[in-house]
A = this chain, B = another copy of it.
Amino acid sequence: MLTGDELMTGDTVDSNSSYLSQSLKDFGVVPQSKRVVGDDLALLEESILELTSVSDVLVVNGGLGPTVDDLTALALANAAKEGLSRNADAMEHLEAWAKPRDFVLTESNLKQADLPSSCEVIPNPVGSAVGFKTELNHCLVICTPGVPYEFKRMVDEQVIPLIRQKGSLSAVFEITRLRLFGITESGLQDIVNNRFPDWPSQVNLGFRVQMPVIEVKLITQNDSALNELWTQKFQALFADYIIGKGDTSLPQALNLALLEKELVLTTAESCTGGAIAAAVTSEPGSSKVFQGGFVSYSNGIKHSALGVAEETLDNHGAVSQPVVLEMAAGALRHTKADIAVAISGIAGPDGGTEEKPVGLVWMAWGREDGLKARQFFLPVGRKAFQRTATAIAMDLVRREVMGLDTSVDYFSELKRQGSKLKK
Interface string of A288-299 (1 = CB under 8 A from B): 001111111110
Residues of chain B contacted by A273 (CB below 8 angstroms): 274, 277-278, 280-282, 286, 290
Per-residue B-contact encoding for A178-190, CB less than 8 Å = 1, 0 else: 0000000000000
Chain B positions within 8 Å of A19 at CB level = 10
Known: A291-B298, A301-B291. A18 touches B22 (CB 8 A): no
Stretch at the interface among A32-40, A77-85, A227-235: A32-40
Known interface pairs A275-B274, A300-B291. Does A11 touch B282 (Cβ–Cβ under 8 Å)?
A: no
Asked whether B274 lies within 8 Å of A295 as measured between CB atoms, the reply is yes
> For A168, what are the chain B residues with a Cβ–Cβ distance below 8 Å?
none
Chain A residues within 8 Å of chain B by Cβ, number? 68
Q: How many copies does the complex hold?
A: 2
Interface residues of A in 1-44 (CB under 8 A from B): 5, 7-15, 17-22, 25, 30-38, 43
Contact indicator B350/A284 (Cβ below 8 Å): yes
A281 touches B294 (CB 8 A): no
A335 part of interface (Cβ distance < 8 Å) = yes
Interface residue A319 (Cβ < 8 Å from any Cβ of B): no
Chain A 258-283, CB-CB to B under 8 Å as 1, else 0, gives 00000000010101111111101110
Residues of chain A touching chain B, judged by Cβ–Cβ distance below 8 Å, are 5, 7-15, 17-22, 25, 30-38, 43, 208, 267, 269, 271-278, 280-282, 284-287, 290-298, 300-302, 304-305, 334-336, 348-350, 382-383, 386
